[in-house]
Amino acid sequence: MAYVIERIDQSGRARYTGMYRAANGKAKSAGTFDTHERAIEVATEEEQHARGLLEETTPAEKATKTIKQFGNERFLKFHHAAPATRQVYSYTLRNHVYPYIGHCRISEVNRETFYNLLMKVLPSEDGDCASPTTVSATRKVLSSLCQMAMDEGYRTNNPVRTIRIPQTPTKPVLVANHEQWERLEGALSTFRPAHLYARVNVTTWARRCEMISFRPCDFDLGAQMVTISRSTVYLGSSFHPSGKAGWLTKDNPKNGEWRRFTISKQLCLAIQEHVEEHGLGPEELLFPQRMFAYHRPIQLASEEDIEKLPPISTPTGVVHEHGTMGARFGLNCKCYHCRKFAAEYQREYRRKQATEKAANGLLSKANTWRRDGTEFLSKEVWDRYWGKARKAAGLPEGFTPYNARHTGISWAIAKGIDLQKVRQRAGHGSLSVTSRYAAILDEGDTSVADSFEDIFSGFSG
């Protein structure tokens, strides 16, 4: 049975460690928490999880369990997958499977039902009008679910495996040429952290989950080396180990293998300047969210430029001097004095609110926009910088931040770098994935178009 051990830390604060019995009967820790209630809650859940690994479901329960019950109670809890993957599986089941066949028994659903769902219902107007990509993702989840059901004795086969759906159309991969990327970096040059972020991205080919995890300790600037060893994702409360929504950092990249390679001396100098300018420690984030917070430029007017305005009065005859609450908010005056008063008033109000919330252990407004108070750079914040720079560079709307990775890889292949070296640096699972970038370079080949131009240039008229 789960229990709690109370300890006093160095500061004299009580800390509570939840303990539970593992499947082998040994006592294990479920973590240390601030409250007794949270510690016993997590320890109880861990013990139930451990027991569930060994408990045998009765034949009657297996015969009557529905797809929704099996998905929530077995598949999403015990399927061997990363928390972020289980979160995606949960979304797919909740939106594209449960509404249609969630009530059906997992032991009785046949191939025809799965086939009709994937080939007729989901793509139709009566269904979700799902795209081929969504149908393909749903088939993948259903196949994994049926395979687990078959392995655990709920079914005798996996009928989804034999269902062949139309191939998902492949969209062209957008990459920027040297001139376009130069214009994009030029648009980001007014804000140095954003400029460096884009340069590191296109140079290291790191994925977004890896980019936001970079720390100064990952860079050996003397040897011009970088190690990609972490990835960070945002998880909902149902899938985060702590039970609360927030960021989760794994000690391995997305593909599971650490990558270590050289970077240019120019990039090393830029990173060194960035670390020194912002006073970053070895374990601090290289690109924290606070660094990208929007700061409105303040334009100060000189005393000579400020016009001396006479007091203003209300229709009832009440007189207000400029730079007072009555003039700014009562009469909506927007002169320099009144706007300055309003700015100071709002800053003082925010400071007061932040102090009160901090005293009560709550997050201030400056932290809540980070969703959970951490410093990881969110997709929405970087997209604002990227969107403005993309428009200034004249790049198409489909050129997303992930295309910086595609761009860097295609440049390396265009320079004649060995595909195996490119694969290792990019973290691709196989050489066939890397080979696709060679086809991107062929799209820009003008030899065929030039040959037709030579043919038609000889035509009269």
* Mean pLDDT to the nearest integer, 444-459: 67
Give yes or no for residue 92 having a pLDDT over 80: yes
Domain CATH number, residue 86: 1.10.150.130
Tens digits of residue pLDDT in 413-450: 888 888 899 999 999 888 888 888 776 666 566 666 66
Strands (E), 97-138: none
Q: What is the pLDDT of residue 66?
A: 95
Q: pLDDT confidence of 401, banded at 50, 70, 90? A: very high
* Torsion angle of C-alpha atoms 17, 21, 27, 33, degrees rounded to 10: -10
Tens digits of residue pLDDT in 344-377: 888 888 888 878 877 887 766 555 444 444 689 9
Is 395 within the bounds of a domain? no
Q: What is the pLDDT of residue 356?
A: 84
Q: At residue 454, what is the residue type? A: D
* Mean pLDDT to the nearest integer, 123-143: 86
Paired strand residues for 262: 225
pTM to 2 decimals? 0.70
Range of the domain at 227: 178-295
Q: In what order do the strands lie in the sheet with 259-262?
A: 219-220, 225-228, 259-262
Is 336 within the bounds of a domain? no
Q: Answer yes or no: do 21 and 77 share one domain.
A: no
Tens digits of residue pLDDT in 326-350: 888 888 888 888 888 888 888 888 8
Is 215 within the bounds of a domain? yes
Q: Answer yes or no: do 190 and 156 share one domain.
A: no
Q: Answer yes or no: do 131 and 100 share one domain.
A: yes
Q: pLDDT confidence of 54, banded at 50, 70, 90? A: low
Pick 265 or 168 by higher pLDDT: 265
* Mean pLDDT to the nearest integer, 48-52: 75
Give yes or no for residue 302 having a pLDDT over 60: no
Q: Answer yes or no: do 187 and 274 share one domain.
A: yes
Tens digits of residue pLDDT in 147-167: 999 999 999 999 999 999 988
Q: What is the pLDDT of residue 372?
A: 46
Q: Answer yes or no: do 75 and 150 share one domain.
A: yes
Nearest to 381 by CA among 194, 185, 184, 181: 194
Determine the Cα–Cα distance for residues 72 and 34; give it in Å rounded to an integer.
Answer: 29
Q: Answer yes or no: do 141 and 65 share one domain.
A: yes
